[in-house]
Structure 1
Amino acid sequence: MSEPTAQQTLSPQFCFSTAALRDFLRISRGTIDDSITQNLNALVTPAAAGFDPRSTSQRNARPAFRQQIDARSCVNFKEQVLFPSWQARSDVLSYCAIVATSPDPDDPDAAVRAAELEKDRERVVDERLDPYSARFFPKEPRTTQLAMLIRQEQGVEAIIRTRTWGLVRERCSDPLEDWQAALAKWRRDQGSTTGTSP
């Protein structure tokens, strides 16, 4: 069974390093969500009743049903692996969303953007001579780029969690319809109020 992804040390530099941010999300998703079927299969104890030699007398390509998992094993997996991993990713995405909406005094491209804007003010625009002369695309601040990345990753996170929760509900017979309700219940039980976004 997989272990939850370790929480990253959060800093603005971590968020602005999109490679590090994406690697953290990719590794966490790969360990837990992308391999959810294997993680759930690892919870099943197939030889609990002992080995039955008749089980090897015929070959079945694929069982007609998926074996239900013991309720205690499901609860342990959700509470100790799945939800902590989701919470770690939620915390990172929430923190980086705050960084993306905060002022960025250390932006290394601020001087370049200021020069581009000054140069644009000096341009003469005559659309009769050149219909494209009014076009101007200044380099975006890194906070804007980070905000766009966070929105994308939150959308991906919602899709992945919906898929994962569907498999967990199927195998664990969980009564909660959606992952948001399940995660919110776990957060209440943990007394956690952080990371309310996906």
Structure 2
Amino acid sequence: MSHPSERPQLTPQFCFNQTALRDFLRISRGTIDDSITQNLNTLLTPAQRGFDPSSTSSRSVSAPSRSIPAPQCDSFKQRVLFPSWAVRSDVLDYCAGVATSPDPDDPGSVLRQIEDSKARERVVDERLDPYSGRYFPKEARTESLSMLMRNERAVEKIIRSRTWSVVGERCGISTETAEEAFDKWRAGRQE
């Protein structure tokens, strides 16, 4: 059985290092969600009934049952799937908080202030050059992180929905959405 994703050390530096942040999310999603079919296949015990020699005397048109017994499914969800989702949710929540907080250590802050003051002092005659009034300030790293968090939350929602539909096919259809099941699991852990 797979193991849940390891929780990285949550620091603002981790969040601002977008390569490390994306790598963590990519690896976590790859080991659990992207390979959900393989992870669920490991829960099946091959040849539970043993080999039946009479099975070769006739051709079977129907596919063998791919449903997984409920205890194995529940164990997988409780021990692997939901904990991995929880780690990713914690990382996304933490980094979203970092993105909305003031950033006194932003190395580009001084440079942006200088560019802004130069842009304000510039004399613009748009009759001579209609493009001279254009000024595109560089975005702060918190703005960049905020945009990344919005994108990653959207990706996470899609991935969870897809994973949950595969789990539903193999473990039995659930009336809950992925978010409802995850929220219920999380609430049960905190009690």
What TM-score, normalized by structure 1, do the two folds share? 0.90
Query: Are 2:169 and 1:170 aligned?
Result: yes
Matched pairs, number: 191
For residues 88-147 of structure 1, what are the alpha-carbon distances to aligned partners after superposition, in whole Å with 9 as ceiling and x for unaligned? Answer: 000000000000000000000011101100110111111111111111111110000000
Residue of structure 1 in register with 2:118 after alignment = 119
Q: Is 1:100 matched up with 2:103?
A: no
The amino acid that maps onto 1:98 is G
State the shift of 1:176 in Å: 3.0
Query: Per the alignment, in what secondary structure is the counterpart of residue 139 of structure 1?
Result: coil
* Misfit runs of 4+, over 4 Å: 54-60
Q: How far apart are the structure 1 equivalents of 2:86 and 2:105?
A: 29
**Residues 22-33 of structure 1 correspond to what in structure 2 (within 5 A)?**
22-33=22-33
Runs of 5+ unmatched residues, structure 2: none
CA 1:181–1:117 in structure 2 vs 1: closer, same or farther (change >3 Å)? same
- Contact 1:161/1:179, CA 8 A, preserved across alignment: yes
Cα distance, 1:69–1:132 mapped onto 2, change above 3 Å: same
Change (3 A) 1:63 1:101: farther
Contact 1:165 1:178 survives alignment (8 Å): yes
Report the secondary structure of 1:128's partner residue. coil
Gaps of 5+ in 1: 193-198
Of the structure 1 ranges 41-50 and 108-117, higher mean CA displacement relative to structure 2 is found in: 41-50
Within 5 A, what are the aligned runs for 1:41-56?
A: 41-55=41-55
Cα distance in 2, alignment partners of residues 17 and 63 from structure 1: 51
2:5 matched to which residue of 1? Answer: 5
Name the % identity.
62
Query: Residues 164, 104 of structure 1: CA spacing in aligned structure 2 closer, same or farther, 3 A cutoff?
Result: same
Deviation readout 1:154-198 (Å, 9 max, x if unpaired): 000000000000000111114233101100110111117xxxxxx
2:109 corresponds to: 110
Give the structure 1 partner of residue 90 of structure 2. Answer: 91
- What amino acid is aligned across from residue 7 of structure 1 in structure 2? R
Normalised TM-score (structure 2): 0.94
Secondary structure of the corresponding residue to residue 153 of structure 2: helix
Q: Name the CA distance, whole Å, in 1 between partners of 2:66 and 2:163.
A: 17
Partner of 2:73: 74
CA RMSD of aligned residues (A): 1.9
